[in-house]
A and B are shown apart, each in its own frame.
Chain A
Amino acid sequence: MTTPQMSIEVPYGDPGADPAPLLRDPDGRLACGADVDDLLEHVADRNATEFDAHQADCPHCRAALTELGDLWTPILALAAIPITAPPAMTATVMRRLAQLLHDVWYTLEPTGSGSIRVAARAVAVLARNAAMRVPGVRIAFGRSTHEPLATLTDTATRHHRYPHTAVGLLGQTAAIELALAVTYGEPIDDVAREVQRRVINELRDTIGLHHVTINVTVDDVVRPS
């Protein structure tokens, strides 16, 4: 078995300060008794320049930490490479989820040149965004209808001329459920009514829904920081 060739001189002239051969010894310890695994953990956790009481005064540990720190540099460099998720990943996941949920409910407005269909989920998003603009609303989530009802109606209307139109949204009618978290101290009743008013206006102005039922549930109160 050959001894590893070291290209870096270890100071203090003490073989016990050289961690290189010790790496191959399962019970490797420096001359001072320090465990080579503990020293490796120390540098791996980016503490190579911070020493505990023993290490601060121990030439063996200081030399070994320097050597192991150099050795570990490529790992830290690899860890420092920034990795960003694909920009469209969230949108793709949500689209796949919508497909999974059979989110195919539309409002349908027959016109002279064809039909206009809006996904119920899109209506829910518009409602949510309108609610989020109301002072005192910390967060809002919207859904157009309960899934069990949607499934039942979907089945019942499958052979109709315009399938899916009876669910949640029908013609120019929509039923939206909004769940809100309100900032602590805000008058909840006022906030909820303002949410209803703004969402109704938003859906009327943006997609022409004139008969909208907005069911608001305030289910959390959040303290401001």
Chain B
Amino acid sequence: MEPAIDDAYLVRRAREGYLDAYQVLVERHGPRAYRVALRLLGNREDAEDVTQDALLAAWQALPTFRAEASFATWLCRIVTTRALNKSTRTARTETLNETPDPARGPAEQAEQDLIATAVAEAIDALPAAQRLALILHQFEGLSYSEIAEITDSTVAAVRSHLYRARRTLAITLQDWR
């Protein structure tokens, strides 16, 4: 398999006006941007709106993009900023689970969905910085340094946010027992 064309090349072409180069970047990084937005907002429609707007904003801001930076990180920063600004912390009304497990009966699936929604709401209740660090690390697998870049913070601050977020969640989960 041939190596994928790297993001830096695609960004250079996109800046020169090659719209299809930007399309490759959208196809490559749009899904993560949407996942992060959905986890932050808890609503698919809002998540798609925010992701689309972020991708358009990123295109318009390409001239300000620093060549040595990571496009993925930069886009994630744009989408998280917009999602947090939009977030109203209302109760979640839909489950994240789009494809129910066929091995589970309806009752068991309903119970799993309830647990998932309750956990998501517990995460929603965290302070924004903790919530963002937890989602990016626990759910998207980003490193502490990547999160620090996205949040314009330090690795030490990210670690601190994660420690506090995990503590709070662990206590909440324990109280449910």
Contacts and interface: CB of A to CB of B under 8 A. Distances in A.
A118 B51 CA distance: 29
Interface stretch (A76-84, A106-114, A185-193, A194-202): A76-84
B48 interface: yes
B18 A86 contact: no
Interface in A81-112: 81-86, 89-90, 92-94, 96-98, 100-101, 103
Nearest to B5: A139
Interface in A177-225: 179, 181, 183, 220, 222-225
Contact of A141 (B18, B56, B162): B18
Contacts of A225: 1-3
Contacts of A44: 138, 166
A79 B137 CA distance: 10
Contacts of B51: 85, 89
B72 interface: no
B56 A97 contact: yes
A97 B8 CA distance: 20
Nearest to B140: A79
**B interface: dominant SS:** helix
A85 B119 contact: no
Contacts of B174: 4, 20, 23, 71
B140 to A, nearest CB: 9
Interface size grouping (class) on chain A = 35 or more
B2 A138 contact: yes
Given A37-B163, A83-B35, A77 B116 contact: yes
A94 to B, nearest CB: 5
Interface in A6-25: 6-8, 20, 23-24
Given A125-B20, A142-B18, A90 B26 contact: yes
A138 B138 CA distance: 36
A203 B59 CA distance: 29
Given A79-B138, A181-B9, A93 B55 contact: yes
Interface string B102-139: 00000000001001100110000000000000000011
B63 interface: no
Contact of A83 (B20, B98, B162, B169): B98
Interface string A102-141: 0100000000000000000100110010000000001101
B1 to A, nearest CB: 6
B56 A40 contact: no
A23 B56 CA distance: 43
Contacts of A77: 112, 115-116, 119
Nearest to A224: B2
Contacts of A86: 34, 44, 48
Contacts of B52: 89, 92-93, 96
B38 interface: yes
Contacts of A78: 96, 116, 119-120, 139
17 contacts: A37-B167, A71-B174, A74-B119, A77-B112, A78-B116, A82-B98, A82-B99, A83-B34, A83-B39, A85-B30, A85-B48, A94-B26, A124-B19, A179-B16, A181-B9, A220-B9, A222-B2
Interface of B: 1-3, 5, 9, 13, 16-23, 26-27, 30-31, 34-35, 38-39, 44, 48, 51-52, 55-56, 59-60, 96-99, 112, 115-116, 119-120, 138-139, 162-163, 166-167, 169-171, 173-175, 177
